[in-house]
Amino acid sequence: MVVDYKSSDKTKEIARKIGVRLINENRPGRAIARQRGVNDAKGEILAFTEADCILNPYWIQSIADHFKNNPSVIGVTGIYSFYNSTRGMNLIAVIFLNFTVYFYRIVLGNHSLRGTNFAVRRLVFKKISGFNQNVAPCDDVDLGMRLRKYGPIHFLPAMKIMTSDRRIRGRLLNFLIEFFTTYIRVFILKKRGFDKSFAIIR
């Protein structure tokens, strides 16, 4: 299933060509698009990724197997590397992403969900009424924090994917400032609404 918000590339054309279900969403916002997809989905496991990601061939199977073999687990998340970047940038990504994986585990007592790459059980997702659209762009972290009281969220190495470095390419310092100021704004200062300081990069 592909939820499209006014894309100007060949997203719709490609989606139709490969036969996936295409949903047009006219309201801006990542959390809004994700929730729209959930509302139209039929499955008991909800898996999420983004338009600039490349999934490995075993992504869906690894998610299904892990949920089947671990009935108490309510969510899984994975990591990513860049497919269009330099070795140096990929090294920075590995260090930063692995740091955040275990930082969240230590601080929150559970793994955080990573927006580009995660899956949750629909039953538990419904208990918390889905995505919070007032904490953008931290809707993925917020979802994980609200879900964790219902069970463990596992970090699953087999879910590793590749994505674009477009958000940090040529603006790594800006990205880090955006990331940390947004995190402080949402989770420490408890402010709601979209953070306009977080650049929208399409």
Residues 32 and 118 in one domain: no
Residues 72 and 98 in one domain: yes
More confident residue, 92 or 9: 9
Domain-embedded: residue 34: yes
Counting runs of H as helices and runs of E as strands, what totals does the chain give? 7, 9
Q: What is the pTM of this model?
A: 0.86
Domain-embedded: residue 186: no
Answer whether 49's CB lies under 8 Å from 157's CB: no
Q: How many domains would you assign to the chain?
A: 2
Residues 37 and 109 in one domain: no
Residue 199 has a pLDDT of 59
Answer whether 153's CB lies under 8 Å from 113's CB: yes
Answer whether 160's CB lies under 8 Å from 79's CB: yes
Residues 76 and 156 in one domain: yes
Residues 37 and 82 in one domain: no
pLDDT in tens, 110-157: 788 888 999 999 999 999 999 988 777 788 888 998 998 999 999 999
Confidence of residue 196 (pLDDT cuts 50, 70, 90): low
Residue 198 has a pLDDT of 57
Residues 73 and 140 in one domain: yes
Residues 69 and 150 in one domain: yes
Confidence of residue 192 (pLDDT cuts 50, 70, 90): low
Q: Which residues of 11-26 are buried (b: 16+ CB within 10 A; e: fewer)?
A: eeeebeeeeeeebebe
- Percent of the chain at pLDDT exceeding 90: 46
- Percent of the chain at pLDDT exceeding 70: 94
Residues 13 and 61 in one domain: no
Domain containing residue 33: 1-42
